[in-house]
Amino acid sequence: MKTINPATGKTLRTYKEMEMKEIDSIIQKANMAQQRWKQKSFEERADYLRKIAGILKERKNELAELMAREMGKPLAQGVGEAEKCAWVCEYYADNAEAFLENDVIATDASKSYVTFNPLGVVLAIMPWNFPFWQLFRFAAPALMAGNGAILKHSENTTGCALEIEKIIHEAGIPGGLFRTIVRDKSGMKEVIQHDGIAAVTLTGSTRAGKAVAAQAGETLKKTVLELGGSDPYVILEDADVKKAAETCATSRLINSGQSCIAAKRFIVTEKVYDEFVEEFTKIMKSKKVGDPFEEDTDVGPQAREDLRNGLHDQVQKSVKNGAQLTLGGQKPEGKGAYYPVTILEKVAPGMPAYEEELFGPVAAIIKVKDEEQAIKVANDTSFGLGAAVFSEDLQKAEDIAANKLEAGCCFVNEFVKSDPRLPFGGIKKSGYGRELSLYGIREFVNAKTVYIGN
């Protein structure tokens, strides 16, 4: 197993894949450690989480460099990711006890309530695009709830995975409670179905989610799946077009366009279409694609060569089917998995840019007649992770976000983002279950009814 610098194509390091015998031992030790961990008080667990947060903040610059080397994230964005991981650790350190306190319910009993017990050791299968954040947004609530955790990270961010384990152990978390395993995805069924794994969480593609859900389902294990997205951003005729264009461009290019909740499809009503395209194109043209270690870089390389090539294939097929290429779209020569900032117009059903997730700096713009058609097109997707609507009529926009857009996270006049204080997750082929907030910490617990008779 190799990690490769996507900016240069050079191999960073080679890792030996773990045999199942070694993984079996790791899982068994994690379960023994979890039995002791669940006996600790919330305040004791919180002390460890706060220490982890301190290490993340102290080392944010070197962690950003590691992310830049392994998956091409621009440095400033890597620093922000490390800081956000510290935030989620502190958030659950402060709030987990209140989230999991007994829920007293009046019945015919002398006393009845729901108590929340940890499930055991949870397997986390995580992607490369936010190599620290994706893990910590699961691990912080899982550990505070009294669970243990096993991390199987994407192969191309193995260095990040091992660094996460190092940080958690350095904070004093009992040995064995959290471990990283190094194993190819093709060998994960045996791990998923291991008797010592109580539940599984995965962030990744819809295809991966289906495979993991099926394998876990064979042994009746709880799963939480956060999968792909083709987030629609609806720009209505009464929107502040300049602000909308700036927000849309920012969202489309976060993490070099490699985010499940990045804006993907821009659905613009015809009265403001030309104005929006002009503003949006001007902003997209100004973004620099380059070395992630350079401070003025906005868009780094795509994380892997094969991912860049797949993205380019989607663009070419869309153009062949009638989309209009108005910016970018040419695969650059030379080293590195770079791809230009790209805009496609006249995007229509049947094209990859309309039907599929574009995981890179490619924007698909769709002109619609009015608000009614905009909502219809926004919901005309198999995905349902995030969505946004832009309008100066906040009451109308709120109604659209709350009641008409089909997605797990709907924002008004802002780009979709994850926040420890709010639940995060999708519907349809974007998965099920929720991460973050009270809802996230209650995913991997047993909501146990306790009834005391008279």
Q: Is residue 149 part of a domain?
A: yes
Query: Under the phi-then-psi rule, with left for phi > 0, alpha for psi from -120 to 50, and beta for the rest, what region is 346?
Result: left
| Residue 370: CATH number of its domain | 3.40.309.10
Q: Is residue 417 part of a domain?
A: no
Q: Are residues 315 and 195 in the same domain?
A: no
43 part of the active site: no
Cα 37 to Cα 77, 125, 142, 145, 177: the distances in Å are 34, 22, 12, 10, 8
Please report, rounded to a whole number, the percentage of residues in the chain having pLDDT higher than 70: 100
Q: Is residue 406 part of a domain?
A: yes
Marked catalytic residue, from 85, 89, 160, 260? 260
Q: Is residue 8 part of a domain?
A: yes
- Residues 143-168, mean pLDDT to the nearest whole number: 98
7-25 confidence digits (pLDDT tens): 999 999 999 999 999 999 9
pLDDT at 401: 98
> Which residue, chain included where needed, has tokens 């613009």?
268
| Residue 438: CATH number of its domain | 3.40.605.10
pLDDT at 119: 98
> How far is 149 from 199, CA to CA, in rounded Å?
10
Q: Is residue 361 part of a domain?
A: yes
Q: Are residues 261 and 295 in the same domain?
A: yes
92-127 confidence digits (pLDDT tens): 999 999 999 999 999 999 999 999 999 999 999 999
Q: Are residues 105 and 47 in the same domain?
A: yes
260 part of the active site: yes
Q: Are residues 264 and 295 in the same domain?
A: yes
Question: Which range of residues forms the domain containing residue 367?
Answer: 231-412
- Tally of structural domains, the chain: 2
Q: Is residue 135 part of a domain?
A: yes
Q: Which of 172, 119, 127 is nearest to 148 (CA)?
A: 119
* pLDDT bucket at 175, cuts 50 / 70 / 90: confident
> How far is 454 from 442, CA to CA, in rounded Å?
30
Q: Are residues 186 and 251 in the same domain?
A: no
Q: Which of 191, 182, 214 is nearest to 14 (CA)?
A: 182
SS3 (DSSP) at 12: strand
> How far is 204 from 347, CA to CA, in rounded Å?
25
Task: Tell me: pLDDT of 27 over 90.
Answer: yes
Q: Is residue 192 part of a domain?
A: yes
Q: Are residues 105 and 253 in the same domain?
A: no
pLDDT at 29: 98
pLDDT at 112: 98
267-325 confidence digits (pLDDT tens): 999 999 999 999 999 999 999 999 999 999 999 999 999 999 999 999 999 999 999 99
Q: Are residues 84 and 134 in the same domain?
A: yes
- Residues 251-264, mean pLDDT to the nearest whole number: 97
Cβ neighbors of 52 (< 8 A, separation 6 or more) are 86, 89, 167, 168, 171, 173
337-393 confidence digits (pLDDT tens): 999 999 999 999 999 999 999 999 999 999 999 999 999 999 999 999 999 999 999
Q: Are residues 204 and 248 in the same domain?
A: no
Q: Are residues 223 and 238 in the same domain?
A: no
> How far is 72 from 261, CA to CA, in rounded Å?
18
Q: Are residues 272 and 176 in the same domain?
A: no
Q: Are residues 253 and 290 in the same domain?
A: yes
Marked catalytic residue, from 226, 345, 357, 435? 226
Q: Are residues 111 and 244 in the same domain?
A: no
Work out whether the CA dihedral 369, 371, 373, 377 comes out positive or negative: positive
Task: Tell me: pLDDT of 56 over 90.
Answer: yes
The token pair at 106 is 């009046």
pTM of the predicted model, to two decimals?
Answer: 0.97
Contact 264, 357 (CB under 8 A): yes
199-239 confidence digits (pLDDT tens): 999 999 999 999 999 999 999 999 999 999 999 999 999 99
pLDDT at 298: 98
Q: Is residue 378 part of a domain?
A: yes
